[in-house]
Structure 1
Amino acid sequence: MSLELYYWDGLQGRGEFVRLALEEARVDYVEVARGKPSKGLGTEAMMAVMDSPDEPYPPFAPPFLKDGDLVIAQTANILFNLGPRLKLAPEVESLRYVANGLQLTIADVVTEAHDTHHPLASGLYYEDQKDAAKVRAHDFIDHRIPKFMSYFERVLAQNPAGDDFMVGDALTYVDLSMFQLIDGLLYAFPRALKRFGEHYPRLAALHDRVIARPNIAAYLDSDRRIDHNESCVFRHYPELDKAAT
């Protein structure tokens, strides 16, 4: 399988959800934007695909995945395609749509997490909207995180196959993405989520099980894993963090 992943260099972002699936499956892939221009890679190579007049359906933004002539955009769409191929999707077809629905809900949380530090406009600097960001972040902590996490905790509890996995009785890309979502929120809001494990024990246990998987553990310890940072989706600004009500 020859795959090219396109996402911004230096950021985990939405591309990290795809990376985790590729790393768990130990698939060879190329991070195009992180490569050297001398080898036809780098950010310019990524932008060339997006701006190409010869691409009939160009992707709007990264992440997108290129597999030969096939270009797949949007995180959930990429994982819906990769899941069965990487053996990270339910074998039962109906459950694949359940997995996709959960992945799209995770994407909703990611968008709301981003908007805590950019509530007015993505084109403005954080420093230009700090007051609004504080209001948005505190509402996210008090209302939106509990709403989403209670739902995901309930999905685990009500899984007919047991609470080890989000969907069915085996690991899927949704479990890997849930790890990434939780990990990002813990980075961004450590004070607010200090008691995360008490409130959401099944999700906390899932997070820890994913970390313990050999391929994921090796990836997290490698230089391929980009650190959380304040240019990404999940950002830690102390003034936005607060103890949950």
Structure 2
Amino acid sequence: MARRLLTLATFNVNGIGARLPHLLAWLAREKPDVVALQELKALDAAFPVAELEAAGYGALWQGQRSWNGVALLGRGVVPVESRRGLPGDAKDTQSRYLEAAVHGVLVAAIYAPNGNPQPGPKFDYKLRWMQRLARHARTLAGQPVPVALLGDFNVVPTDADIYDPKGWRRDALLQPEAREAYRDLLAQGWTDALHQVHGDAPVFTFWDYFRQHAERDRGLRIDHLLLNPVLAATLKDAGVHRWVRLQEKASDHAPTWARVAAPARR
């Protein structure tokens, strides 16, 4: 008997309070099974747990004021938390990493630091954070269970992943050190689902708000779905729900998804 499919997705909502109607409309239309959210821009008490439950999703979240905050959603289930925050720096209080078991998959919601302006302390923090992520991810890559790292990595992996690399060359997202950190992560055995399916074809996940870049598809690929070998072996498809970005007052990101075989019941 064929195994049913799971849709894993990541979505930087750019403020869950302001974008809640977009989020709920997307959940209702596309029905992803596992969702990682970033940039909640909300404290824990402001997280819309009741609205998400009414939409059929259990939730786990780590809120924070300003630019951070991550969450995991499970369609019809409540994620079972396994880790809150990256190890390696007890002084780091930024809400950027949340890990849980959802539908038989160990899933991490990731919101990597932007790193701008660079050079400077924000870029230094970005690189240190990526190093900590790599150390922890190494412990997950070879697990005999399906594992997915889903999120906004704030790295454009190659020049093929941006509409105008020359215009963005000084941005932290394209710096050689950031790209090397991303390559080092993949070298552990992770599969970049979008790249695996689409190769070097231009598939973007983020479009800024200038000059109708979303409408003209002048974007960047910074939202990634990384699958460990166990999960990558079942990858069926991957893509971007760009229609969400084209809505009025939308987030500057679009939901990015991968379809995999559901793990066999244990």
Indicate the TM-score class for this superposition, using the shorter chain for normalisation.
0.3 to 0.5
TM-score, normalised to structure 2, is: 0.37
Q: Looking at secondary structure, tell me which structure has more strand per residue.
A: 2
